[in-house]
Each structure stands twice: as structure tokens, then as C-alpha cells.
Chains A and B, each alone.
Chain A
Amino acid sequence: MATVEARHISKHFDEVRAVDGIDLIAKEGEFLVLLGPSGCGKTTLMRLIAGLEQPTAGDILLDGRIVTDLPPRARNIAMVFQSYALYPHLTVERNISFPLRAIGMPKDEIRKKVEWAARMFGIERFLDRKPRQLSGGERQRVALARAVVREPVVFLLDEPLSNLDAKLRNSARDELKQFQRNLATTTIYVTHDQAEAMGLGDRIAVLNQGKVIQIGTPQEIYRRPTDTFVATFIGSPPMNLVEDGPSYLGFRPEAFLPREVGSAEDGIALPFRVTRVEYLGADRLVYGVLEGRTPEAHVISKLPDNIRAEIAAGERYDFVVRKSGIDRFDRASGRRIEGDAR
């Protein structure tokens, strides 16, 4: 268990600033998710923490101690790779015990540890197999067991679920969260999948172009996005942004409702011309244009199945948004405008 700190860390590859002056602290026992689009620098940041890359500037601290110049093996950090990176020529047992043999642990102790880790992930049956004889989900468990077995101070997980099929991914997510809770080991988790980030993270750091844009709990990130990037990156479908003088009006699709279900008193009425309706089972997505605005404002409404109001493409409806459901962003900078400027 440890804190991990990145202190004004930068990594440049030639002219590309993959990581551009990031300050970040993962608290003890915390599950911190690094979330961002591909190429935002999240994997590079993780590799810097692991010691697989040397920073162009700045420092990495473990428990307040600068470890920037230490090689990966001296940091007692475990990492699970997107590809799992199992050693293909070694059995599962040898894969899991590899980190233990590297530190020269006595043999009988190694055996106990391997059994303990294998039991935790339910892979005792596979100990004699080679990785190629395992399914994707089983490989992922082996990779996790290899990470857990030497009880590292920090786990780094690089999109460990992205190679699993959708069905398996949900149950694997649940298990991952469970075992992290039990071990209470500081965990940094990289993903581009916001559902994973929201579901797993104690806190989420949203990254874009090598910088941390916002860091906070899933609720904070969702309810009070700090700028238009976070507002449109988080949420599915993303937040609607409508030009309104020097600022953008931002509102979530699920806050944009027909007048008869939305509360009319503290709401803003927006005339809505529907162009398309998508039925998704639990929800309906209603695509359309706000009337009387230039340039044309394309918005989406997400109606849960219990709102039965008849909505048809080509028709015009009166929709409302509650005032508390509206965020404002500066049009020039994209930054959130605080206060009650509604």
C-alpha cells in the first residue's frame, strides 16, 4: 500500500508531448482511473509510473520517495498489460512464480504463494498449462495472479478488460473491483471506456493531449464537467452543447424532456423538431434540432421507457430542461462558467 505521485511530469517523443506537465496523486488504497481518448497520454503516464519510460522532466514519487531514477524492478509495482504479456514458453505456474523467483524467494514459500494467488482467481486447475491453451478470460486471470502474487505496493492495469468479449467484461469488472477492495492496494487503471471508468474508479482523472483536464469522483466528473471536452467525452450519448451568446448551454440528454413530464416552473422551454427516434429497449434516443437558433443546434434527448409520450419523426414538440440541469461553458476557452449565470 502506498501513495503514488506524479510531480509535474512530462514525456516528449521527438516533437510530440505525450505527457505534458501532469501533477497527480493516487491516495493510499485508492482505485484511480486514467480515462481519455486514444493518444491522450494515459498509457505513457502509466509506463512512467512503472519505470518503463524515463520522463523528459518531472518526478515520480512512491510514498513520498522519489523513484524516478530507479529501474522498474526496484519499484515493487505490478503491471497488467492489455495483451496480458504472459510468458508463452512457461506454464501458468511458472508465469505466476516468475516475479517471486526474480527476488530469490525460497521454493516452498513460492509454492504457497502461487497456490494462494491461483486460488484467489480460481485458476488452480490450469497451473500446468501453457498460456496458449487458455481462453482470453483465463489468461486475464493468470495475468492478475502474476501481478498479485508478490503483494506489490501498487497495481497498474492497462486496459486489462478490453480483450474480453462484452459479456465476460461485466463480470470481470465486478471481480476486479471486489479483489481490489479486499487487497486494498493502490490501483491505477487505464481505460478509454467511460462505463468501465465510472463503474470501477474511486476517482477518475480525465486526460486529453497529455494533460489532466479534470480529476474527481465519477459523480463530480459527470455532474460538474470542468470543460466542454469532459462534458462531451463523458456520458453516452454526450452532453448537448448549444451556442448561446458568448457561452455554450450544456445539458445531458436525460435532462431534456417533453414539457408534460418535465417540471415547467423552473425549466427553460426549448422548441424541438424531431428528425429521428431510436428505440433501445430501456431508453429511446430522440435526435432533432432546436428551433429558432442560428447556427442550427443538433441535440439528443434520452427518454427512459417509462415516459410513454408519443414522439414521431418530423413533428415539433415543446421540450424543457430544468435550470439545475444546465451547465454553462465559455465559448472561447471551453471552460465551465461557475455560479448561477443561468
Chain B
Amino acid sequence: MTATAAAISAATARRMRLADDERRLWPLMLAPAILYIVLLVGFPFFLSLFYSVSNVTVGSRDMAFVGLENFRRVVESGTFWIALGNTLIFTIVSQLFVLLFANMLAMALVADFRGKWLVRFLILLPWVAPISLGAIGWLWIYDSIYSVINWTGQALRILGPNEWPIWLGQPNLAMASIIIVQIWRIVPLATVIILAGLTSIPQDIHDAAAVDGAGFWRRTFQITLPLLLPITLVAVLFGIIFTFTDMIVVFVLTRGGPYDQTQVLATWAFFTGIQGGDLAGGAAISLFLFPVLVAVAIVFLMLARRAEVT
């Protein structure tokens, strides 16, 4: 009896010693994160670096070093400049609207009202739903024959009887349509981030400003928005990265068409490397995303740190 008790306590003691042994514990705890980064981020990244200076294709096992030949080909093609321009427009325009809408929504949602949780849930919905499902829904909204927008527009007499915009078929409309979907998709995330920032501002600060004679606009522009700046920059950084690297919205809605007019770098890399079989070319295209994103991340994190206040 006492022997069993002693054995149990010895086992417990060993377990406790392991749980307290920080030197052995920290590699164990960090291992999953490190494995994830090495296998799913690091390995593909270095593989694409390697591919981009080779002539690898899907159909052949031969591979040779070709230097910067792939990059020369990419830069010389007209599609690259279209795709680069589109990527920038797609990102900048959508994020400007995201910033505006997310701030407005967050300020509306921070107030107390009945059914607040339901509204918050509905606003978050586009973010939690799979992107491809959402995009397919939009595909129907923009459909060239059954577009619910055109139908509503005609019913309300906003569109004339012979006006029937082809949302995804006309170059300018197609770009606008894609940007709208991207705004719809990113706004919930930005709203939630900014909402968290809003609720972290103490009520005392708002009260003090009110007593100090500041009206709504002065409170918003001199107190609330400056205090929100650091967290807003984080929200925009996420938005830029998600938009710059996104290919699903464009892929589902237009596949880059018409005539590459909505092609972005991510979709073009996919079409070239995976569907076109030119792995080396696709790798070279996708590597153009990298320096831009690094620069954006560094600039934003520096700004956020400088704007940090507490």
C-alpha cells in the first residue's frame, strides 16, 4: 500500500519536474511554430527563389541554371506591367475604402443599442465565410444575364430600358467590381480591429474632451482618430497584405479577363506557373510581390511604433 503510494508520488514528482524544467520545455513549446514556419513558409520561399533562376517546367525533369533570364522575360512582357498596375490599384483603392467604412462601422458599433450582437455577427460574416463561396455568390450578382444589380436598377428606373452593364465583361467595370468584392471581404476584419482599438480608449478621455469644450468633430479628429492611429495602421497593413497577395477574388470572378485587364500579379503567377506549366516563370513573377510587401510591412510597423502612445 505504502509502496504504491510512493510509486505514484514518484511518477507525479517526475511529471512535475518536467513541467517546471524550462530549459527542456521551451524547445518543446516552440517546436510547432518553428516547424510550421520552416515547412510551410521557409521551404516554399527558398524553392521559389531556386526555381526563379532555373528553367524548370511542369512537363520535364530537366533543370538548368539560367540566371536572371526569367526575370528579364517577365519584365519585358506587357502583361507584367498591366498586372503590376492592377495590383497597386486593386490594393490602394480597396484599402482606402476599407479604412473609411471600417472606421464608420466601428464607431457605429461601439455605441450601445438593442441587437448589437446580431449586427456585429452579420458584419463579421463576410470574413468568416470561405472566400471562394463568397466570390461565387458575387459571380451571380454580377452575372451578365441574371445580374440582380441590373434587375434592381431597371425596376427602380435608375438604368434605362436598354442599359445593361456587363459588370465583369467591360474592363473598367470589371476592375471596379473586383475592388467592391475585396472591400466587402476585408471591411469586417478591419472593423473588428478598429473596434478593439476604440473600446480600449478609456471613457474618461472622451468625457474630458467633452467637458473641455470639444464637439463631435473635434473629439473625432483630435482625440479618437489619433488615438486609433497605431491600431489602424495594423489593420491597413493586414488589409494590404491580404489584398496584394490575393488571387481568389480575381480568379473566381474574371480569371484576369477581359484581355488581362483585371490581371493581378498573384493570378498571373498562378496562370503562368501552374496552368501554363512554366514553374520558373511563375516563381519569378511571384517573387516581385516579396520586396514590395517587405517594404510595406517595415514602413507600417515603424509608423505604428512611432504613433504608439501608452
Contact = CB atoms under 8 A, between A and B. Distances in A.
Interface stretch (B67-75, B117-125, B140-148, B210-218): B210-218
Interface in B226-257: 226-227, 229
Nearest to B310: A88
B212 A98 contact: yes
B131 interface: no
A317 interface: no
Given A88-B310, A132-B309, A132-B310, A102 B208 contact: no
Contacts of B37: none
Given A102-B214, A130-B309, A132-B309, A83 B207 contact: no
Given A85-B202, A85-B204, A72 B310 contact: no
B297 interface: no
A85 B210 contact: no
B309 A79 contact: no
B207 A52 contact: yes
B209 interface: yes
A85 B208 contact: yes
B223 interface: yes
B205 interface: yes
Contacts of B226: 89
A77 interface: yes
Contacts of B214: 73, 98, 102
B309 A88 contact: yes
Contacts of B209: 87, 98
Contact of B208 (A79, A130, A150): A79
Nearest to A79: B211
B213 A102 contact: yes
Contacts of A222: none
B259 to A, nearest CB: 49
Band of interface residues on B = 20 to 34
A77 B211 contact: yes
A4 B288 CA distance: 68
Contacts of A203: none
Contacts of A150: 213
Interface string A78-104: 110111011111000000001100110
B211 A73 contact: yes
A77 B210 CA distance: 10
Contacts of B207: 47, 50, 52, 72, 79, 81, 85
Given A87-B223, A88-B227, A88-B310, A52 B211 contact: yes
A115 to B, nearest CB: 19
A336 interface: no
A287 B211 CA distance: 48
A146 interface: yes
A99 B209 CA distance: 8
A71 interface: yes
A89 B214 CA distance: 16
A77 B207 CA distance: 12
Given A79-B208, A81-B204, A83-B202, A102 B218 contact: yes
A102 B223 CA distance: 12
A130 B222 CA distance: 15
A71 B211 CA distance: 9
A318 to B, nearest CB: 55
Contacts of A79: 207-208, 211
A77 B214 CA distance: 13
Given A71-B210, A81-B207, A98-B214, 12 more contacts: A47-B207, A50-B207, A51-B210, A73-B210, A73-B213, A79-B208, A85-B205, A85-B207, A87-B223, A88-B310, A102-B215, A102-B218
Interface of B: 202, 204-205, 207-215, 218, 222-223, 226-227, 229, 307, 309-310
13 contacts: A47-B207, A72-B211, A73-B211, A79-B211, A85-B205, A87-B208, A88-B205, A89-B226, A89-B229, A99-B212, A102-B212, A102-B214, A146-B212
